[in-house]
């Protein structure tokens, strides 16, 4: 799928996360680092279970479209002089609110 703005990416990422998390959750965090654009990345997805919100658990999304969404987000948020983000931190709360931070 092609995204035309960052908000479409945020919505898609949120849907993937909420559909893939293995149990009721309080918060989900994704750390996505681009090592080489469109080729090499590292990611870590963790969630905090609703029953034990101080415990961090990891899960995986094995779907290239999920990864591609972050590459498209990098293109859509690139800044002149900085280029693509090197890392994106995405936090999704169970009430649907999210926070996104980029490191260039």
For residue 44, the number of C-alpha atoms closer than 13 Å in the C-beta half-sphere is 8
| Confidence (pLDDT) at 39 | 85
Mean pLDDT in runs of 10 for the chain (104 residues)?
97 98 98 92 97 96 96 96 96 97 96
Q: What's the DSSP call for residue 27?
A: E
Q: Are strands 87-93 and 98-103 parallel, antiparallel or unpaired?
A: antiparallel
Indicate the pTM of the whole model: 0.93
Q: Which CATH architecture has domain 6-103?
A: 2-Layer Sandwich (3.30)
| Confidence (pLDDT) at 68 | 97
- Each residue of 72-88: pLDDT tens digit? 999 999 999 999 999 99
């Amino acid at each position: 799928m092609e995204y035309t703005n960052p908000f479409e990416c945020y919505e898609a990422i949120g849907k993937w996360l909420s559909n893939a998390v293995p149990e009721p959750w309080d918060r989900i965090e994704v750390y996505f680092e681009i090592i080489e654009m469109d080729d090499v990345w590292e990611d870590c997805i963790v969630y905090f279970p609703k029953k034990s919100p101080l415990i961090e658990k990891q899960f995986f999304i094995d779907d290239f479209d999920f990864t591609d969404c972050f590459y498209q987000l990098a293109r859509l948020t690139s800044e002149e002089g900085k280029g693509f983000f090197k890392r994106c931190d995405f936090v999704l709360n169970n009430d649907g609110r999210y926070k996104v931070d980029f490191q260039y």
